[in-house]
Every structure is written in structure tokens, then in C-alpha cells.
Structure 1
Amino acid sequence: MKWFADTLTRLLEGVMVLCLAVMLVMVFGNVMLRLFLNTGIDLSEEMPRFAFVWLTFIGAAVGMRRRAHLGVDLLVQALPGAGRRLCWGLSQALMLVCCGYMVYGTWLQHDILAGNASPVAQISMIWVFGVSYLSGTVMGLICLSNLLRLALGRVADDELIDVHEEGMAEARDAMNDLGHAPAHGAAPTPQGGRP
């Protein structure tokens, strides 16, 4: 199962790279054409926008798989192990419901999206916004897998808090080195030396 999830994640990352490349090439090419030849490609107005939609939705699924989304852990840090597990399970269940609504909402609008075409490329809009089928399903499967692992007792304690302190500490240290932030909550000292 882990092999399948890792392979799917790498495949989705490849699609993200492709979307980013499409955005870069088409936007840069259109800028150069307008700058030097006073012309442009109409398609390069739509395709980067569509690629950005795909990049965002697929990036959300990959970010969830990699546990890279932002989070606030103030309450969870104060709880004992059982409380952390309860909160983590509730958050996974709520995300699963949201993913279900995302897929269901796309299904409700499927006919409308399929019936509309983009103005320039004449692509059915289901090919653009239908990516929410993919991302909602992938994120829902991740949540379902996490809930199953929680029920079987296979969730490690370090997974219960998705905010990674080492990244926060590195960012704080980098800011301290630049002189932009006080060290560990201390009040900043003015340049004159007096507080």
C-alpha cells in the first residue's frame, strides 16, 4: 500500500512540474512576443490559468501526503497522548467529510462544467475544474487511511502534531542572524544600546 501511495505521489509531483513548465513557457513566451513582435498567442492567456488550477489542487493533495500543510498546534501541544489522538482523529474525520463534499459538489456541477467550453481553446471546463475529483479522492483516501491506522493503533506520536518545530526553529534562527527578530521572545534592543 505504501508503495502505491509513494508512486502516486511521485506521479502527481510530475504533473505539478509539467503544469509549472507550461505556465513558465507560455507566459514568458507571450511576454517576449508582445515585447519584441507586438503580437501574442491567445492560447497562452488560458492555458497557464488552467495549469495553475491543476497545480493548486494537486499541490494540496501532495502537501497532505507529505504533511506539509500549515497548522496551529497550541491546543494540541497542551493535551496528553489520548487527547492528541482524539483531536487528530477528529481532524482527519472532518477533512474526510470536506473531501467528500468536494467530490460530491463537482459531481453535481459535472454536466454544467462539461457543457461549457473555454473561449479560446474550446476545452470542456470539466477538464479544468474536474481536477477536484482527483484531489478530493486522493485527500479523502489519505484521511481514510489515517483513520484506519489510528483505529489499529499504528499512528506514531510524532504524527499527531503536524507542525514541525525544527522548521520553525530554523526560521527563527535565520531571522535572529539577520537581526530582524529578537531571540526566543526577548524584547528587541534599540541600536543605541538602551532598552
Structure 2
Amino acid sequence: MKAIADAYFQLMKLALVTCLAGMVVLVFGNVVLRYAFNSGITMSEEVARLLFLYATFLGAVVAMREHLHIGIDSLVKRLPVLGKKACLVTSHALVLLACGLFFQGSWAQTVINLSVKMPVTGISMGTVYAAGLVFSASAALIVLNDLYRALAGQLSEAELVAVREGADPEVIAAAEHEPQRMPPGAKRQPADRAEVA
């Protein structure tokens, strides 16, 4: 099962890279054609917009699987293991509810807009709203997997904190070990002011 999930997310990363590359080619190519040859790719704007939409949603799913979203963990990381687990289960249940609502809305909009065509390419507008279906279904599966592992006791205490405050942990660790920068000409004050006489 893990192999299938890994293959699915590798495919998603490949689709994400393809979307980004397609956007660059279409937008940059269109700019060059307009300025150099007074011409252009007619469908460039619509297709680039669609690729940007899918890149955003696919990127969000990949980030969710790798727990890269930024959050505030200052309270949760101070709780005992049972408290961390309770917070994780509660937050994941709320995320599942949000995914369900998002899927329901995306499905309704996809069905409504299936017969509506984009003016230049003729692509169905349903494909725009289908991005929400891909996102909500994939996100729900990730959350369900994490929820199962939490309830089965398969998560370590560190993994029970689903988000991390701030940016990249390596950047934070480097900043904590780096000495404070002093303005030019300033003198470092002693740690204990009682020693200053």
C-alpha cells in the first residue's frame, strides 16, 4: 500500500513540475513572440491559467503529505503525549470536514460547468473546478492515513505535532546557534548586570 501511495505522490510531483514548465514555456514564449515577431500563442493565457491552478492545488497536496505547511506549535509541543494526540485527532477531524465540504462544492461546480467552454481553447470549465476534486480527495486520504496512525499508536511524540512554527527547521537551528549580530561600534553587555560596578 505504501508503494502505491509513494508512486501516486511521485506522479503528482511530476505533474507539478510539468505544470510549472508548461507555464514558463507558454508565458515566456508568448512574450518573446509578441515583442520579436509581433505574433503570439493564442491559447497561452487560458492554458497557463489552468496550469497555474493545478500547480497550486498539487503543490498544496505534496506539501500536506510532507507536513511542510507552517503552523503555530507553541502550545501543542508543551502538552503531554495524550494532549498532543487529542489535538492531532481534533485538527484532523476538522480538516476532514473541510475536505468533505470542499469536495462537495467542487463536485457541484464541476457538474454545472461541464458544458461551459473556455472561449479560446474550448476546454470545459469543469476542468477548472476538477482541481478541487483532486485536492480534496488526496488531502482527505493523507489526513485519514495520519489519523489512523495516530489512533493506532504508530506516530512518535514528535510526529504528533503536525505542523512546525516558522520556516525550515535547518534555518531555525542555524539562527539559534548563530551569535547575535552587533551594530558597528556597539559593545557587548555582560550577561549578568550585577557584575557591572
Superposed pair shares fold, TM > 0.5: yes
Once residues 167 and 34 of structure 2 are traced to their aligned partners in structure 1, the CA distance between those partners, rounded to angstroms, is 46
Coordinate RMSD, CA, aligned:
2.3
Confirm or deny: 8 A CA contact 2:71 2:166 kept in the other structure: no
Equivalent residue for 1:167?
Answer: 168
* Contact preservation (8 Å) 1:118, 1:125: yes
The offset of 1:105, in angstroms, is: 0.6
1:109 partner SS: helix
- Match of 1:15? 15
Q: What number of residue pairs does the alignment pair up?
A: 187
- Residues 1-35 of structure 1 show CA distances to partners (whole Å, capped at 9, x for unaligned) of 21111111001001101101110111110010011
Select the residue among 162, 186, 193 that pairs with 2:186: 193
Q: Please tell me whether Structure 1 or Structure 2 has the larger radius of gyration of its CA atoms.
A: 2
Segments ≥4 residues shifted beyond 6 Å: 174-177
Specify the alignment match of 1:143 in structure 2: 143
| Equivalent-residue separation in structure 1 for 2:149 and 2:173 (angstroms) | 34
Give the equivalent residue in structure 1 for 2:193: none
Q: TM-score, normalised by structure 2?
A: 0.86
Query: Which 5+ residue runs of structure 1 have no aligned equivalent?
Result: none
Shift of 1:166: 9.2
State the Cα distance separating 1:147 from its structure 2 match: 1.5
CA contact (8 A) 1:117 1:123 kept: yes
Percent identity between matched residues is 37
| Aligned residues of 1:53 and 1:129 also touching (Cα < 8 A) | no
Structure 2: runs of 5 or more not aligned? 189-197
Alignment correspondent of 2:31: 31
How far off its partner does 1:133 sit?
Answer: 0.8
In structure 2, the residue matched to 1:63 is 63
Matching of residue 81 in structure 1 with residue 81 in structure 2 = yes
**Aligned 8 A contact 1:33 1:40 in 2:** yes
Partner Cα distance (1:137, 1:167) in 2? 27
